[in-house]
Amino acid sequence: MEEIHKSKLFSAIQPSGAVTIGNYIGAIKNWVRLQDEYECFFAAADLHAITVKQEAAQLRKNTFDLMALFVACGVDPEKCVLFVQSHVSAHCELTWVLNTITYPGELSRMTQFKDKSARHAENVNMGLMDYPVLMAADILLYQAALVPVGADQKQHLELSRDLAMRFNNRYGETFTVPEPYILKDSGARIMSLADPSKKMSKSDENPNGFITMSDDRDTILRKFKRAVTDSDSQVRYAPEEKPGVSNLLTIYHVFTGKSIADCEKDFAGKGYGDFKLAVGETVADALAPIQQEKARLLKEKDYMNDILKQGAENAFRTARRTLSKVYRKVGFYSGE
């Protein structure tokens, strides 16, 4: 029988607290679709998370929680390799080697490093600076051809490509040079409900700006009720002119699967009150089964731990192959 080789794909999310519906739409929802088409590796990037201050017990909880959320959303451990980054030591080991072909200037000019250094001025550390190299190691270890990322990670992916090519040039063909995978709904950037000029983010100091995957129905309805719109009264998609209403339409579109035009039709002649309530109800209805399944999985500790153990073993099997090749190329003595 002919063996079909699917392209490899890698992506990860940091277990650093609440996951918003923006993360869900931008990443997890797409993973579920991609797992049938590609050989997927998905991780909770806990090594990345500690580049900013984390409380140990909270990080542990967030990591387990994120894994349960992935599975509850439909990321299928039978179809893809689902694991915790720190369970596979090869990520750190490859980072070290890649560090030796990375220039400090490349890292200090990264937009996210500059932003995070400003936001965490009391804790600017080497890990924060090295963050994109660790990300390159994540990707290159699995010879991933494709990496689904949001716009904010494109610069980091560019570095991964540069490092792959640089290593290949210096030591001979070793790494697949990854391509960014621009997601179907990447146009569907979800904005803050409180300030639709900003991306929806869990670090928004106004909790009404974001909906998390664990918000209950009342909270969701309340936040949508308070969502900023405009002084007009038409439910119409016009991101420049009507950013608040357009954002709500986008959310409604993503959760119902209807076209934007059909979404507009649903609210023709209706006021913003009805509109916001309908969007809130749609989101609450979509999240309820995910929340139920996640709650069930959180109690199935043995089952979840088994998935993570299997995931780490499978990830390691692939990662080890690349790491051995790298170690051989750079000239580490292996006793043979």
Beta bridge partners of 39: 8
What is the Cα Rg of the chain in Å? 21
Whose Cβ is closer to ligand TRP: residue 142's or residue 224's? 142
Amino acid occupying residue 212: T
**227 part of the interface to ligand TRP, by CB under 6 A:** no
Residues in the chain: 336
**147 part of the interface to ligand TRP, by CB under 6 A:** yes
Whose Cβ is closer to ligand TRP: residue 10's or residue 316's? 10
Q: How far is the CB of 151 from ligand TRP (least distance, A)?
A: 11
Q: Give the span between the Cα atoms of 51 and 85, in whole angstroms.
A: 14
Q: How far is the CB of 66 from ligand TRP (least distance, A)?
A: 12
**322 part of the interface to ligand TRP, by CB under 6 A:** no
Question: How many CB atoms neighbour CB 187 within 10 A?
Answer: 8
Contact pick of 7, 54, 125, 153 for ligand TRP (by CB under 6 A): 153
**276 part of the interface to ligand TRP, by CB under 6 A:** no
Whose Cβ is closer to ligand TRP: residue 135's or residue 248's? 135
Residue 202 appears among annotated catalytic residues: yes
Contact pick of 72, 80, 107, 135 for ligand TRP (by CB under 6 A): 135
Whose Cβ is closer to ligand TRP: residue 69's or residue 149's? 149
Residues 6+ apart with CB under 8 A from 269: none
How would you classify residue 178: left for phi > 0, otherwise alpha for psi between -120 and 50, otherwise beta? beta
Catalytic residue among 199, 223, 276, 294: 199
Question: What is the residue whose two structure tokens read 């609210």?
Answer: 267
Please count the residues of this chain forming the interface with ligand TRP, following the rule CB under 6 A: 13
* Contact in structure between 145 and 7 (CB atoms under 8 Å): yes
Q: Give the span between the Cα atoms of 232 and 283, in whole angstroms.
A: 24
Beta bridge partners of 199: 191
First to last CA, the chain: 36
Catalytic residue among 29, 61, 114, 116: 116
Residue 199 appears among annotated catalytic residues: yes
Contact pick of 25, 107, 133, 139 for ligand TRP (by CB under 6 A): 139
**14 part of the interface to ligand TRP, by CB under 6 A:** yes
DSSP 1: -
**46 part of the interface to ligand TRP, by CB under 6 A:** no
Give the binding site for ligand TRP (CB under 6 A).
10-14, 45, 48, 135, 138-139, 147, 149, 153
Residue numbers annotated as active site: 116, 199, 202
